[in-house]
Amino acid sequence: MNRVSASELTRREFLRRSTAGLGGIALGMGLMPLAQAGSGAKIPIGLELYSLRDQCKTDLPGMLSAVSKIGYQGVEFAGYHGRSAKELRTMLDDNGLVACGTHTPYETVLADKLKETVEFNRVIGNRFLIVPSMTAASKKEWLEKASLFNEIAGKLKPDEMWVGYHAHQHDFTKVEGETPWDIFAANTRPEVILQLDTSNCRDGGADPVAVLKKYPGRTRSIHIKANGGGPEAVIGEDKLDWPEIFAFCESKGKTEWYIVEHETSKDPLDAVKRSFEALKKLGKV
């Protein structure tokens, strides 16, 4: 059985407490344009707001403004801090930002909640509904989850939305001879996003490059997170093979968003800024 780390439990609790904004949905607002890397175009850079989780709790408008001024084009929500969809959309529009994803709890994509979740994301302009964490005790349970995501993907198609799953460390610990990531990926439709987290993948003992190459066309959204350089290290200051990661995403990955995440800095906003500057130096901005 997979063991869930304390950090995952923290994230799950964070999401449960901060998705209260699902109430009060304003209907009739359209989706934001889908960001897409065309021929010769650079993949846009978004920020996972879990990077600024404590700051967003007390000053979400201020953090969105700061993120926009740094140069990020989009944000991926990890909770809504009691805000309605209409309030979030206004804040995004005011700062010239796009919703490039939401980390929405597993329960919110199930049948009884899916319609509400779709409407919420329609208002904020988001197309990517990413479930941030799941656990299962057996291959059979993972196959059941894969089947469920296939069903959800079909339901979302008329709304031009995508469902996906975000990788955590335990997804690379074998269950009955296979990793949960491989079981899930091999048994889901191509429309189901496999949102790799480069650091979580490495912490699970897997090679992010090898994992990416195994599933071409499935990485429409990826968390780019440093690994192996210490708590303050940003992309390029660590031990991951960034040239190979970027080369895959910009060719066979069909990647539409690079999403920066930095969870371990003593100064989160500074880390977010340094991460963006590192991507500039690497020619990704």
Helices 53-70, 85-94: crossing angle, 10 deg rounding: 30
Query: What CA–CA distance (Å, rounded) separates 205 from 157?
Result: 34
Dihedral sign of CA atoms 8, 130, 190, 40 in order: negative
pLDDT score recorded for residue 21: 46
Burial class (CB in 10 A: 0-12, 13-18, 19+), 271: buried
pLDDT score recorded for residue 249: 98
DSSP, collapsed to helix, strand or coil, labels residue 202 as helix
Provide the 8-state DSSP code for 204: T
**Residues 26 and 123 sit within 8 Å (Cβ to Cβ):** yes
pLDDT in tens, 54-91: 999 999 999 999 999 999 999 999 999 999 999 999 99
Dihedral sign of CA atoms 210, 216, 218, 224 in order: positive
pLDDT score recorded for residue 75: 98
pLDDT score recorded for residue 145: 98
pLDDT score recorded for residue 171: 98
pLDDT score recorded for residue 219: 98
Cα distances (angstroms) measured from residue 198 to each of 73, 104, 112, 219: 21, 20, 32, 12
pLDDT in tens, 160-205: 999 999 999 999 999 999 999 999 999 999 999 999 999 999 999 9
pLDDT score recorded for residue 10: 52
DSSP, collapsed to helix, strand or coil, labels residue 38 as coil
Q: Where on the phi/psi map is residue 110: left (φ > 0), alpha (ψ -120 to 50), or beta?
A: beta
Neighbours of 228 (CB within 10 A): 12
Query: What CA–CA distance (Å, rounded) separates 175 from 50?
Result: 29
pLDDT score recorded for residue 2: 33
pLDDT score recorded for residue 24: 43
Q: Which of these, 127, 25, 22, lies nearest to 74 by C-alpha position?
A: 127
Query: What CA–CA distance (Å, rounded) separates 158 from 223?
Result: 26
pLDDT score recorded for residue 97: 98
DSSP, collapsed to helix, strand or coil, labels residue 5 as coil
Q: Which residues of the chain have pLDDT under 50?
A: 1-9, 14, 17-29, 33-38
